[in-house]
Each structure stands twice: as C-alpha cells, then as structure tokens.
Amino acid sequence: MRYSGLKVIKEALTGHKGWRPTWRDPEPKKSYDVVIIGGGGHGLATAYYLAKEHGITNVAVIEKGWIGGGNVGRNTTIIRSNYLLDGNEPFYELSLKLWEGLEQDFNYNAMVSQRGILNLVHSDAQRDAARRRGNAMILNGSDAELLDVEGVRAMYPFLNFNNARFPIKGGLLHRRGGTVRHDAVAWGYARGADLRGVDIIQNCEVTGFRIENGKCLGVETTKGFIGANKVASCVAGSSSRVMEKAGMRLPIESHVLQAFVSEGLKPVLDGVITFGAGHFYCSQSDKGGLVFGGDLDMYNSYAQRGNLPVVEDVMEGGMALIPSLGRVRMLRSWGGIMDMSMDGSPFIDKTHVDGLYFNGGWCYGGFKATPASGWCYAHLLATDTPHKVATAYRLDRFRKGCMIDEKGQGAQPNLH
C-alpha cells in the first residue's frame, strides 16, 4: 500500500477501512541470511538498505522490546552534517543527503525539516575554531556560514546578548541541518523493510551467540535459536552487554543522556540553537514544546532515566542563554543510554568472529547518522568490505593509534 495525500482523502471518505498494519508480526523462521540484533533506527535502516540496495531480503530484525522504544524514539531529533575531521564529515554528509530524499524513498512522512542549526560562539578563539570547522564542512560538500553578532541578533533577538556572563560573539550557521520526527524514522524504515520481506520480530531478546570453531552460527533468543549466515549487532546503548556474550570487550562505556520538553508555546524558535559556553541546545517541536538537552549524567549506567544535578545544569544553561525561559513550564524529561566510544566516533566493522559484525559507539549523535549507518552497514554485510565513507570506523583503531578524536562529539565521556 502506497501512502499519499489522495489515499488519506479516500480513506477519510470511506470510513478508514482500507488501512493495513504498518508491518507484519511474524514468528521467527529457523534461519536467515542475515539476523540484525536491535530494532532501533540503525538496525531497521540496515535491514531496509540490505533489501532495497542489495536484494538481500531473507533478513530478520530481532528487537527485545518494541520498535522505537530505544534511543531512536528518545533523542532530540537533530540532524546535521557539521563535523570537522575527514574520518567523519563525508559519512555525515552522506547521511544528510540521504535524509534529504528519505521520505520519498521510503514513502513515509518523517517530518524532515531543514530549519537550520546555529552553533553560538562566545570568544575569539571559539570563532576561529568555528571558522575552521565551517571550512572543513564546505570542503566536504556541506554548507556553513559564519555569522557576526548582528547576524545572530537578527535571527534570534531574544537571546542574552548584552547582560551575559558569556556574551554572544557570533555563530556558525548550518542551514541544511534541522530536525526529523524520530519515531517516524523507525516506523518508516520498518515499513519499508517489511514490505520487501524482512521479518521484524519484537519482544524477542537475544541472550547469546552460538559460536563454533570461530564462526557465528546464529543467536540464542527468548524465542529459541535462530540460525544465520551473518549476525549483525546494532544495539546502541546495550553494545557492551550484548557483545560480551560473544566474548568481546569494547572501547565503549554506557552513560545516560537526558532530554526535556516544555509546555506548548506559540512559534518562537524556528531553528536549532546550541550554547557555546555551557551544555544546552534547543529547538521547538511542531507541537510547540521547546525540546532541549545538555550534558551526560557522567556516570556509567543502563537506567533509561537521569538524575537531578544534570537537570539543574541544563536549566542553568538555558536560563543563561534565553532568560525568558524562566517563565516557561517544563512538561517532562526522559533519558536514554548512550554507547560512548572513547574518541567520540562510531564503529561499523567485522569482528574477530567469522560471520559476526558490529555497529555501535554512536555516542549522543547517532540519530543523524541513521541513514548512513544503515547504508554503510548494509554495504559491509553484503560485500564484506567497508563503504568508502566508513573506512575509518574500525574496531582496532585504538590499538593502531588511528583514533578519530572529534571534539564536541563525545570524546572522553569520563572527563566531559
């Protein structure tokens, strides 16, 4: 069934009897060509591109909870391609290009909104760093504009310009960045994969791997053993726990990141802003709530909720940047588990076990990576070679000294 405006009108006039479930609810088969562990954004995107781009459709996505219950439905929805380093920026630029055509591609409204991201700067040194980052972005085919303080004031006059401890000196504007409705991304990819024959198995936890003579033969699950030629782990914040079952110790720590939403307001903020002198960033959802977040909770945890000191820190950051926030009421907050790698950059790689692959280490920036992560992981699974924009995301890069130490992307979570 193709979704379209015409279909909505037709269903409205005929009592909404023609809609079908967005994906099937199958029982697992005995074996698959590829079993993907984790029905988050990355796992579902991988399944979708495996089927669509490589014709590999005998695929299962095994999810312990429900589609969209992990970080893909918990993040603050920001997408961008504003990285500095060569190991990263071409990957994130591919991701942004995929976002730009995604809704047509998978025929689902994910509310991709390129409303622009403005990274504020508060010192001359920060302006220099922003200029350098902007130049690197442009060299890699992205877009960047350096604004002076009057340029920022023209966009967001309500920011704290004059009476501030950290006066605003300008900002790096990335116009193609923006927001996407996060859970719709999971649903769109799930639907697209399901339509092409992928089995999405919810409420099924992977509890172990069957590995014999150095080869992974499949996964043990709460619904029994499922055989596979290739097993692809894609469980984000649970990466260390899952890969431990295959005897692997990863350069990843799990930390909580919180997010917040205010009561609904009239339109006030039409883009995304990030504070350069504290941990605070903010956008306004289409429902009117201000969606904002800040820093990690700073201790290892698998709890999907955070604690009050960081709530206070984020509110302080918000008040320092937008004093009028003091009159807004908070509606709710939540947390997700971040798979923080030790250089802030991800992994898309084979493991030392034949037939076992790993995708993770997305830190607090993996939502924007969803399309490219799925695209490159599918490429790796289908061809056994890394995609050209993901060649740096190797598991052995710490041993070899090839870290991709991207400042501001989560490097050194323990020292943040």
Q: Applying CB under 6 A, which residues contact ligand FAD?
A: 37-43, 62-65, 69-72, 74-78, 205-206, 234-238, 242, 257-259, 293, 336, 362, 364-368
- Minimum Å gap between C-beta 305 and ligand FAD is 11
Amino acid at 327: R
- Minimum Å gap between C-beta 127 and ligand FAD is 24
- Minimum Å gap between C-beta 245 and ligand FAD is 8
Specify the residue, 120 or 127, whose C-beta has the smaller distance to ligand FAD.
Answer: 120
Specify the residue, 127 or 176, whose C-beta has the smaller distance to ligand FAD.
Answer: 176
Distance between CA atoms of residues 94 and 156, nearest Å = 30
- Minimum Å gap between C-beta 380 and ligand FAD is 16
Contacts of 271 (CB under 8 A, 6+ apart): 115, 116, 117, 118, 155, 178, 283
- Minimum Å gap between C-beta 200 and ligand FAD is 11
CA atoms within 13 Å, Cβ hemisphere of 306 = 29
Specify the residue, 73 or 355, whose C-beta has the smaller distance to ligand FAD.
Answer: 73
Distance between CA atoms of residues 325 and 315, nearest Å = 9
Distance between CA atoms of residues 47 and 378, nearest Å = 7
Specify the residue, 63 or 89, whose C-beta has the smaller distance to ligand FAD.
Answer: 63
Other CB atoms within a 10 A radius of the CB of residue 42 amount to 33
**The token pair that represents 334 in the structure block:** 């939540």
Supply the DSSP string of 369-407, one letter for each residue. Answer: THHHHHHHHHHHHHHSS--GGGTT--TTHHHHT-----T
Supply the DSSP string of 325-359, one letter for each residue. Answer: GGGSPEEEEEEEEEEEETTS--EEEE-SSBTEEEE
Nearest-CB residue for ligand FAD: 40
Specify the residue, 208 or 264, whose C-beta has the smaller distance to ligand FAD.
Answer: 208
Specify the residue, 252 or 403, whose C-beta has the smaller distance to ligand FAD.
Answer: 252
- Minimum Å gap between C-beta 75 and ligand FAD is 3
